């Protein structure tokens, strides 16, 4: 029997691989281009440099921090209760907190929350992942719910939701 009469075992994968290969390579190249360090000199000069120290609520907030901007506008905040979601203002209630920049302040704005608050790119990557690995991941390895919060001054941090309190700006 000649090989021309019989299909090779790898030929059955050619069509599905070709369908997935182009989108996968496109997404990968966009991620690599988006994350590339081609302007490393400019990127390094635009990245704020912070003096890391132990932050406490006794420290005054820097004028360019979110808390400092709110104080300059004469705004105040009151702790509230409820679910923390993207766009909310929160207060960091863990005091003191290690390795934080000087003048950070306690008030921040929530950028994202773990567990369902995904952007379009993350949702796309999750669909691609599930296409290849349909078995759901164990929830035990995901850790506690957390939020990415922005304190201003170019400083963002991931903080457990149990260490944040929602606030109402007045």
Per-residue pLDDT tens digits for 21-58: 666 666 766 666 655 544 444 445 555 555 556 667 77
Per-residue confidence band for 132, with pLDDT thresholds at 50, 70 and 90? confident
pLDDT digits (tens, 9 = 90+) for 74-121: 999 999 998 898 999 999 988 878 888 888 889 999 999 886 445 667
Instruction: Tell me: pLDDT of 140 over 90.
Output: no
Q: Can you tell me the distance from the alpha carbon of 108 to that of 25, in angstroms, rounded to the nearest whole number?
A: 37
Per the DSSP assignment, residues forming a β-bridge with 4 are: none
The whole-number pLDDT of residue 117 equals 45
- C-alpha distances in angstroms, 128 versus 24, 32, 122, 133? 8, 17, 10, 9
Q: How many CB atoms lie within 10 A of CB 108?
A: 27
The whole-number pLDDT of residue 91 equals 92
87-91, 130-134, 150-154, 162-166: which range is least confident on average? 130-134
């Amino acid at each position: 029997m000649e090989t021309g009469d019989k299909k090779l075992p790898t030929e059955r994968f050619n069509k599905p691989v070709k369908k997935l290969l182009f989108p996968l390579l496109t997404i990968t190249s966009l991620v690599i281009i988006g994350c590339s360090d081609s302007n490393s000199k400019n990127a390094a000069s635009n990245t704020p440099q912070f003096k890391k120290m132990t932050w406490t609520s006794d420290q005054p907030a820097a004028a360019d921090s979110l808390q400092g901007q709110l104080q300059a506008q004469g705004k105040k905040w009151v702790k509230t209760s409820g679910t923390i979601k993207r766009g909310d203002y929160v207060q960091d209630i863990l005091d003191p907190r290690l390795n934080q920049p000087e003048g950070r302040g306690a008030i921040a704005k929530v950028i994202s929350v773990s567990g369902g608050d995904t952007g379009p790119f993350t949702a796309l990557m999750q669909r691609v992942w599930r296409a290849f690995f349909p078995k759901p991941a164990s929830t035990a390895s995901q850790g506690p719910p957390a939020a990415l919060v922005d304190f201003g001054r170019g400083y963002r941090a991931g903080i457990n939701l149990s260490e944040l309190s929602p606030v109402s700006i007045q």
